[in-house]
Chain A
Amino acid sequence: MVAPLLSLAGVEKVWPNGTIALRGVDLTVQAGRVHGLLGANGAGKSTLIKILAGAIPPSGGSVSWQGEPVRWSNPRAARAAGVATIYQHIPLVPTLSVAENMLLEQRGGWRHDRSGRTRAAEVAQALGDPFDLDAIVGDLPIGTRQMVAIAQGLMSDPALLIMDEPTASLAGHEREQVYATIRRLAGEGRAVLFVSHFLDEIVALTDEVTVLRDGRAVLHEQTADLDEAAIAAAIAGRSVAALERAKTARAIGAPVLDVRDLALRGVLAPTSFVVSAGEIVGIAGMLGAGRSELLHAIFGADPAVEGMVALNGDVVGRSPEDAVAAGIALVPEDRAAQGFVPGMTISENLALPRTGILISHEREDPAARAAIDRLAIKASGPDALVSELSGGNAQKVVIAKWLTPETRVLLLDEPTAGIDIGARTDILRLIRTLADEGLAVLLVSSEFEELIAVADRILVMRDGAVVAQVDPAAIDEAGLIQLASGTTAETGMAA
Chain B
Amino acid sequence: MNRTTDWRQIFGLREAGVYYALLILLALLAAIAHSRGLPNYLSAQNLGNIAYQASLVGIMGVAMTVMLITGAFDLSVASVAALAAAVLVGLAPGIGFPLAAVAAITTAIGVGIVNGVIVQFVGINAFIVTLGTLTAVRGLVLVLTDGRSLMVEQPHVLQQMLAFESTRVPLFWPLLAIAVALLVLAVVRKHALPVVGGVVIGALALLAGPAFAVAAPVVYLALFTAIVWAVLRFTVVGRRVYAVGGNAEAARLSGINVHAYKLGAFVLSSAAAGFAGVLFGCRLGAINPTALQGAELTVIAAAILGGTSLLGGAGSVLKTVVGALLLFTLTNGFNVLNLGASYQGLIEGIVVIAAAAIYTVGGKRKATAR
Contact = CB atoms under 8 A, between A and B. Distances in A.
Interface in A304-340: 319-321, 323-325, 330, 332, 337-340
A17 to B, nearest CB: 15
B190 interface: no
A383 B239 contact: no
Contacts of B313: 341, 343
Interface stretch (B45-53, B241-249, B323-331, B341-349): B241-249
Contacts of B256: 320-321, 352-353
Contacts of B234: 358-359
Interface residues of B, number: 25
B253 A361 contact: no
A273 B4 CA distance: 49
A357 interface: yes
A387 B242 CA distance: 15
Contact of A337 (B240, B247, B257): B247
A330 B250 CA distance: 10
Given A343-B314, A361-B3, A301 B235 contact: no
Given A340-B247, A343-B314, A352-B243, A357 B236 contact: yes
Q: Which of B234, B237, B246, B257 has the most CB of A within 10 A?
A: B246
A325 B256 CA distance: 10
A299 B256 CA distance: 13
Contacts of A388: 370
B250 A301 contact: no
B236 A356 contact: yes
Contacts, number: 81
B139 interface: no
B197 interface: no
B254 interface: yes
A195 interface: no
B252 A344 contact: no
Interface string B136-162: 000000000000000000000000000
B235 A344 contact: no
Contact of A383 (B3, B250, B254): B3
Nearest to A320: B255
B247 A359 contact: no
Interface string A411-455: 000000000000000000000000000000000000000000000
Contacts of B228: none
A1 to B, nearest CB: 54
Contacts of A301: 252-253
B143 to A, nearest CB: 38
A340 B254 CA distance: 9
A321 B236 contact: no
B264 interface: no
Given A365-B3, A383-B3, A339 B250 contact: yes
A343 B246 contact: yes
Nearest to B240: A352
Contacts of B247: 337-338, 340-342
A355 interface: yes
Contacts of B251: 341, 352
A351 interface: yes
Q: Which of B240, B249, B313 has the most CB of A within 10 A?
A: B249
Contact of B254 (A342, A353, A358, A365): A353
B311 to A, nearest CB: 10
Contacts of B242: 341, 343-344
B253 A344 contact: no
B235 A341 contact: no
A186 to B, nearest CB: 42
A37 B251 CA distance: 39
Contacts of A357: 235-237
Interface in B251-302: 251-257
A320 B314 CA distance: 24
B255 A344 contact: no
A357 B230 CA distance: 12
B236 A359 contact: yes
Contacts of A353: 254-256
A175 interface: no
A365 B251 CA distance: 20
A401 interface: yes
A348 B252 contact: no
Contacts of A361: 3
B194 interface: no
B20 to A, nearest CB: 23
Contacts of B257: 319, 321
Nearest to A331: B253
A342 B248 CA distance: 11
Q: Which of B235, B236, B243, B250 has the most CB of A within 10 A?
A: B250
Q: Which of B236, B240, B257 has the most CB of A within 10 A?
A: B236
Q: Which of A299, A320, A352 has the most CB of B within 10 A?
A: A352
Contacts of B236: 351, 354-359
18 contacts: A301-B252, A320-B255, A320-B256, A321-B255, A332-B253, A338-B247, A339-B250, A339-B253, A340-B250, A343-B246, A348-B239, A352-B240, A352-B251, A353-B254, A354-B236, A357-B235, A357-B237, A365-B3
Interface of A: 299, 301, 319-321, 323-325, 330, 332, 337-344, 348, 351-359, 361, 365, 383, 388, 401
Given A341-B250, A344-B242, A352-B240, 6 more contacts: A323-B255, A343-B314, A351-B239, A356-B236, A358-B236, A365-B3
The 6 closest A-B pairs by CB, nearest first: A324-B255, A341-B246, A352-B254, A341-B247, A338-B249, A353-B254
